[in-house]
Chains A and B, each alone.
Chain A
């Protein structure tokens, strides 16, 4: 009976974070090496893992998030294998290795607790898209896992003054050293209800990359459940 399913058994662990398929993240947990993950993202675990919602450290850093409902992160600690997923979104695992990355809050799945991180409001664009664009800037030596609705694409901004414009709903992550601007492509027509549907974009310029998902669905499925 198990034969058709046998191919989905977990592969041996080779790193702290790995993909299991395209849509699931496997984290090798160890005591002393905690993980911060989105609340509600755990789908399975093996071993002894404990979860602490709304940990004090997070509360400290993510003051801005605290709008009465608590930070959307939980601290996971213990030993074992932890499986995380976000409603079938693609999972991208990154070993930061000293680099930094800014991640849209809804696209962050998990990261090592010892990384340097902070929450900031996207300048000039806050509450633009009606969702309030928060982003988490993470850097240091460790692992980060992002989610993306569909296989993402990475675009190089080119380094010059040329700007790359991204639909905020499709934005996943970007290099923190990029310059970010909000751009409203307002024209007279769009004011009378005949817009092109692309009323605002975020403009990136500088040296770095932008990660974009092939979907404009930025609803936070994990948060909806509360």
Chain B
């Protein structure tokens, strides 16, 4: 069965399939509407720096054919073949988009999807429908992006302008005097002059749209030429939607997105590469005031405007000479360049501000923002509901925030009595931003959208008060203290979970076990069983392995558990 993605979900491709030769199918349709479905190959700055990686009906493949447009087949309006391991270094993101050709708006779109098929089996599917959009003319459906490994993100973000605005957003160029539907790309490879603008149907690449001269890109035939693929599922166009169950161990795991703004408001467009600070931006983020943080990780800290305006920087002077450290009274202390002009990503700028630039607060317009791996910021003004947090976890706040005691409630007191460790909470109310951190543990904001998650009580740092939570008790022989207490959270909101060290997220399979001291959280749909390993021969050896009581998890594929490398 294919993994169903929701908007904002992300997953490693390797969790979805072992293959790297993928088929990406897009199905989008609406009464009387035609669509251009294209793929943008973007660089690390999310710019279309190379026109040859804009794959659309007039340029159906990239130079080394790592991305190919295949046309309509197997129930898909448009399909692509993506060979991840042949994508060149400079391309770090593939953004699949659908644009309206002609009149209409995205709200008229019927149910559609973007899906990934590997080896003839559908491994991921992100379904969407027109009700998620309004007057947009384009939509970014999903991204393949490279962060350590290739990952897939279900974006589902509308875009006001048409294809040309989208192209501009990615830093591409649109020649003038062309209708919006036909961005006259100048493909460097083929020297293609778009002689034919509107595609007859978005579904089929116009065969006669091929340019006149040179090694022009020709629409690939639907079944792609077989390419030798070492040790990967063979590439075959998928059969018409015939779900096939993937082996349970490759069932992907999805943790809720970190950076989708709550409330279902349209996600602002992925940040165009932040303009070097101090320079006029090359391209303002389209229609949005603040560039959102990138995927998963906050981007390189970015100075909010107005930061450090006073303190006129000393004029550009000596730069520290590389090489040997300077001689005594040498220029290492001499006035150097203006700290505020230090470009983004410069590892070190002179002056206090320059040196600390990399640790700047991440700008945000969201309720919960991860500032870095160990710090989370909650903006109480957004959403208007109080935050409950572990006592003493506030490290800093701005604005009028009141901290008050929050009793654990009746059941909490029972827990407290039973375990001697009551969950000590405080309620943060008011208007302002509160930064939470505790003991340098890694923090993971998990956004719940109606689903439920169980978190071991020691690992809860903070959560929205609007979430319903209850204490659950897992009893079993051999658990220290007689029972394990967890908190089950349900509803819509964010919960921040802390882990000591980098956790592992495991899919729940028939044989998933975890140490009850190291398990942090699990999706509430999975069932927990205490399993004690009782072996007849165990006692015949001196000593115990110390690993006799484990929790076993059972559940449908798609459930997950989170385990930290630390046993409390």
Contacts and interface: CB of A to CB of B under 8 A. Distances in A.
Contact of B334 (A141, A167, A197, A213): A141
B371 A217 contact: no
A54 interface: no
Nearest to A175: B352
Interface string A7-35: 00000111110000000000010111100
A41 B339 CA distance: 29
A170 B437 contact: yes
Given A95-B350, A197-B424, A210-B396, A33 B328 contact: yes
Contacts of A165: 396-398, 401
A220 to B, nearest CB: 16
A13 B324 contact: yes
Nearest to B321: A14
Given A92-B355, A99-B352, A16 B325 contact: yes
Interface string A43-75: 000000000000000000000000000000000
Interface string B319-337: 0101111111000111110
A28 to B, nearest CB: 3
A217 B440 contact: yes
A27 to B, nearest CB: 9
Q: Which bucket holds chain A's interface residue count? A: 35 or more
B348 A15 contact: yes
A156 B435 CA distance: 13
B438 A216 contact: yes
Interface stretch (B37-45, B73-81, B255-263, B306-314): B306-314
Q: Which bucket holds chain B's interface residue count? A: 35 or more
Given A15-B325, A97-B335, A196-B391, A155 B437 contact: no
A165 B435 CA distance: 10
A93 B351 CA distance: 10
A201 B5 CA distance: 43
A93 B348 contact: yes
Contacts of A190: 405
B311 A99 contact: yes
B413 interface: no
Interface in A153-180: 153-156, 158, 162-167, 170, 175
Contact of B314 (A16, A98, A167, A212): A98
Contact of B395 (A93, A98, A216): A216
A97 B314 contact: yes
Given A28-B325, A155-B396, A215 B439 contact: yes
Given A156-B304, A196-B404, A209-B356, A95 B336 contact: yes
B320 A15 contact: yes
B359 interface: yes
Interface stretch (B372-380, B473-481, B488-496): B372-380
B375 A198 contact: no
A94 B308 CA distance: 16
Contacts of A99: 311, 351-353
Nearest to A33: B328
A189 interface: yes
A161 to B, nearest CB: 12
B336 A164 contact: no
Interface of A: 12-16, 28, 30-33, 92-101, 112, 140-143, 149-156, 158, 162-167, 170, 175, 185, 187, 189-190, 194-198, 201, 207, 209-217
Interface of B: 301, 304, 307-308, 310-311, 314, 320, 322-328, 332-336, 339, 348-356, 359-361, 371-375, 390-399, 401-406, 424, 426-427, 435, 437-440
15 contacts: A14-B322, A28-B325, A93-B355, A95-B332, A95-B355, A97-B335, A151-B374, A154-B361, A162-B398, A164-B397, A165-B397, A167-B392, A196-B403, A197-B392, A217-B440
